[in-house]
Each structure stands twice: as structure tokens, then as C-alpha cells.
Amino acid sequence: MKSIAGIVMVIFGIITGLYLGVWWAFIGGIVDCISVVKSDDFVPLDVALAVSRVMFSGLIGWASSAVLIIPGIVLLVDD
């Protein structure tokens, strides 16, 4: 039973890391940056937040995946 839980955690860790790193942070940051530049109201804080999301997308992806992958691997090795 531990091995099944470990495999599921590793798979969900990979999916979570890809979703948060690529879709939410990288693509979402680019879309936010474009929408702020195209809008009538130019708010520098919105641009800074969008650019920081793009810059840290790799870290966000790795950190969010590590939360599930590391315990999943521990469960697999412990078995």
C-alpha cells in the first residue's frame, strides 16, 4: 500500500510542478504582463508582479513538485 501511495504522490508532484511552474507562473505571468501593458491604466506594481512570476517560474515549479515528490520517494524507498 505504501508503494502505491508513493507512486501516486510522485505522479501528482510532477503534475503539480508542471501546472504551477509552466501554466500558472510562466504563461500566466506573460499574459498578465501583456494585459497590463495593453490596458489604459498602467500600474507598475502589476508589471513587477507579472515579471517576477515569469522570472521565478522555475523555482515555483521545482518547489511545488518537491513537496509531493520527496515524501513519495521516501515512501517508495521505505517499502
- Per-residue CA distances from 32 to 6, 24, 41 (Å): 36, 10, 13
Give the pLDDT mean for 39-68: 94
- Each residue's pLDDT tens digit, 29-40: 999 999 998 999
Supply the pLDDT for residue 79.
63
Mean model confidence pLDDT for the chain: 94
How far from each other are the two terminal CA atoms of the chain, in whole angstroms? 9
